[in-house]
């Protein structure tokens, strides 16, 4: 058996993985999952409803959300205990426009504290929904901010320190779409018709029932053997237009998806985490780590059926540990109608994506993710790990140091990838990003600008988005400060009120 170079580097460079355990690790890694051709696709895809909203006297678009427990039948006649937002499982899609002021009333009807983080959103740290903005049982948290970023597919999920994996696994997640008048009108944009959100998550359903306590699976974190899309098991989607826009979100706890169609047809990648690419990128695959998003446009012909799959993700660690790199799944079936409404052709240009030149950086930092730490430190709620000066640009070099698969997410900012292992980034990493995958031995240089929102009292987070790793302490805190400000150690508090 040959060992991939990245894996070998991880084995040799990580003290947590000693050679004597390789025999057991290989046995674990050999238990692959393959559902290709075995999924019946007998349930219509659930499309999350758009969250209702109203405009208050201050001109803010107001959403009312409630996190609560419920019962969900993933398999008929076998209800599971789940959590959801304004429903039993998952949540509605929030939608707001660039420049719009929003207020979101988040009520907690659970019997334990939680939070709700706006993943990918540029906003004040006190409104971010991280572990310092906990919502106690029976209370409501009401953050408000002005949307100051381009059209993008964002999402929301809980972020309680040490409990994020459990809360996401039980079902608290949803999409947050930002609209922008500068987006090309030719793009499919009719929500639920030719513009479809896809929250893809792996789960285990022993006896057809979800275990509300997320089971563990190796050092990567939880890996399930069934795929839910928007909470639907074995989903199909009836397509009535020539082209369809799929907003893909990897909402899993640890699994990496490598999406492609069963017939390997090409599609157009039009957006990543932070919004539209400068131009459509024709490809036949896109890989997403937990927390990453991608928007693709696929063309269909009348009457055909085509299956969206995930197979052979480039995790780089399959020989050493069980990381899902050998698993293959059928995810969703698209069913084209006998007659399809015509769709506009995609424009040659999508958006302006001005590059941030590396020479403009005011500072450079290095982050090593290893053994549930970042730079040797586990998360401490009362410690600020670094401070950033408002209005400055920084380069963050991020790499792995323990032979384990990681991802990396930065709150508040969208960044650009300068290099991957010393080379220019591939096309699918050329746009705005807030989350990236780090296979063993990988190194990326990220450039980001901290334009505003200085606050000496509230931190932002940076962390591994493999949720088990995050919960175990692979997370740090940073503050954006004005010149002369000094950080004040934050205290985790109940951000809600009765």
pLDDT confidence of residue 494 = 53
28 pLDDT more than 60:
no
Task: Tell me how far apart the alpha carbons of residues 425 and 408 are, in angstroms, rounded to a whole number.
Answer: 16
Owner of token pair 């157009």: 268
Q: Which region among 106-120, 170-184, 209-223 has the lowest average model confidence (pLDDT)?
A: 209-223
25 pLDDT more than 80:
no
pLDDT confidence of residue 317 = 57
pLDDT in tens, 334-354: 999 999 999 999 999 999 999
8 pLDDT more than 70:
no
- Three-state secondary structure call for residue 8: helix
pLDDT in tens, 244-296: 999 999 999 999 999 999 999 999 999 999 999 999 999 999 999 999 999 99
In order of 26, 36, 224, 418, 461, the CA distances from 322 in angstroms are 8, 20, 12, 30, 28
pLDDT in tens, 443-493: 999 999 999 999 999 999 999 999 999 999 999 999 999 999 999 877 655
In order of 4, 312, 408, 438, the CA distances from 7 in angstroms are 5, 15, 19, 12
The tokens describing 317, both together, are 């660690």
- Average pLDDT over the chain reads 91
331 pLDDT more than 50:
yes
Mean local confidence (pLDDT), 144-160: 98
- Three-state secondary structure call for residue 168: helix
pLDDT confidence of residue 322 = 73
Mean local confidence (pLDDT), 407-429: 97
Task: Tell me how far apart the alpha carbons of residues 112 and 231 are, in angstroms, rounded to a whole number.
Answer: 23
25: left (phi over 0), alpha (psi -120 to 50) or beta: alpha
Sign of the CA dihedral 101, 127, 275, 256?
A: negative
156 pLDDT more than 80:
yes
pLDDT in tens, 188-230: 999 999 999 999 999 999 999 998 887 766 788 999 999 999 9
Mean local confidence (pLDDT), 370-375: 96
Mean local confidence (pLDDT), 410-421: 98
As to burial, measured by CB atoms within 10 angstroms (0-12 exposed, 13-18 middle, 19+ buried), residue 375 is middle
For residues 72, 111, 215 and 172, what is the CA-based torsion angle, rounded to 10 degrees?
50
DSSP class of residue 93? B
The tokens describing 178, both together, are 């930002």
Q: What percent of the chain has pLDDT over 90?
A: 86
Q: Where are the alpha helices (DSSP H) in 113-262?
A: 164-170
Neighbours of 476 (CB within 10 A): 22
The tokens describing 308, both together, are 């969206």
How wide is the angle at C-alpha 469 spanned by C-alphas 468 and 475, nearest 5°? 125
The tokens describing 271, both together, are 């957006």
Buried b or exposed e, range 231-240, using 16+ CB within 10 angstroms: bbbbbbbebe
In degrees and rounded to multiples of 5, residue 265 shows phi and psi of -65, 150
Closest to 139 measured CA to CA, from 103, 114, 170 = 114
pLDDT confidence of residue 216 = 67
Neighbours of 285 (CB within 10 A): 18
**Cβ contact 411:130 at 8 Å:** yes
Task: Tell me how far apart the alpha carbons of residues 360 and 78 are, in angstroms, rounded to a whole number.
Answer: 57
22 pLDDT more than 50:
no
pLDDT band at 29 (very low <50, low <70, confident <90, very high): very low
pLDDT confidence of residue 489 = 78
**Cβ contact 129:116 at 8 Å:** yes
- Three-state secondary structure call for residue 12: helix
- Three-state secondary structure call for residue 79: strand
User: Residue 374: beta bridge partners?
Assistant: 369, 377
What's the residue count for the chain? 498
Neighbours of 187 (CB within 10 A): 23
The tokens describing 401, both together, are 């140091």
């Amino acid at each position: 058996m040959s060992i991939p170079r990245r894996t070998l580097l991880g084995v040799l460079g990580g003290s947590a993985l000693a050679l004597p355990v390789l025999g057991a690790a290989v046995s674990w890694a050999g238990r692959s999952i393959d559902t290709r051709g075995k999924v019946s696709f007998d349930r219509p895809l659930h499309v999350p409803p758009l969250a209702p909203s109203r405009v208050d006297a201050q001109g803010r678009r107001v959403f009312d959300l409630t996190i609560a427990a419920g019962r969900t039948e993933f398999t008929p006649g076998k209800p599971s205990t789940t959590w959801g937002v304004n429903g039993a499982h998952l949540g509605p899609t929030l939608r707001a426009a660039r420049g719009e002021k929003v207020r979101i009333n988040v009520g907690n009807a659970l019997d334990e504290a939680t939070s709700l983080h706006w993943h990918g959103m540029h906003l004040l740290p006190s409104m971010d929904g991280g572990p310092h903005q906990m919502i106690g049982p029976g209370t409501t948290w009401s953050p408000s901010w002005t949307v100051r970023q381009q059209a993008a597919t964002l999402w929301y999920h809980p972020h309680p320190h040490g409990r994020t994996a459990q809360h996401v696994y039980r079902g608290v997640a949803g999409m947050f779409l930002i609209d922008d008048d500068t987006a090309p009108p030719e793009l499919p944009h009719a929500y639920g018709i030719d513009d479809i959100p896809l929250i893809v998550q792996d789960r285990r359903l022993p006896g057809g029932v979800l275990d509300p306590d997320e089971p563990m699976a190796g050092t990567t974190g939880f890996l399930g053997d069934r795929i839910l899309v928007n909470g639907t098991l074995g989903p199909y989607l009836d397509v009535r237009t020539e082209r369809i826009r799929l907003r893909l979100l990897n909402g899993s706890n640890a699994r990496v998806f490598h999406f492609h169609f069963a017939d390997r047809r090409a599609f157009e990648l039009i957006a990543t985490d932070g919004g539209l690419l400068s131009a459509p990128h024709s490809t036949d695959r896109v890989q997403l780590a937990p927390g990453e998003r991608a928007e693709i446009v696929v063309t269909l012909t009348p009457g055909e059926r085509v299956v969206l799959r995930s197979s052979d993700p480039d995790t780089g660690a399959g020989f050493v540990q069980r990381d899902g790199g050998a698993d293959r799944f059928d995810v969703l079936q698209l069913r084209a109608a006998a007659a399809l409404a015509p769709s506009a052709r995609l424009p040659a240009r999508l958006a302006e994506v001005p590059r941030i030149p590396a020479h403009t950086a005011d500072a450079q930092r290095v982050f090593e993710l290893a053994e549930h730490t970042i730079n040797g430190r586990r998360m401490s709620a009362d410690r600020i790990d670094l401070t950033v000066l408002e209005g400055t640009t920084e380069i963050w070099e991020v790499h792995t140091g323990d032979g384990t698969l990681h991802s990396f997410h930065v709150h508040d900012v969208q960044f650009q990838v300068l290099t991957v292992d010393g080379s220019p980034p591939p096309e699918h990493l050329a746009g705005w990003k807030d989350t990236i995958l780090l296979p063993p031995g990988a190194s990326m240089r990220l450039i980001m600008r901290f334009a505003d929102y200085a606050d000496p009292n509230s931190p932002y987070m940076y962390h591994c988005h493999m949720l088990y790793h995050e919960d175990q302490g692979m997370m740090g805190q940073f503050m954006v400060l004005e010149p002369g400000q000094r950080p004040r150690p934050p205290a985790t508090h109940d951000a809600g009120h009765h």
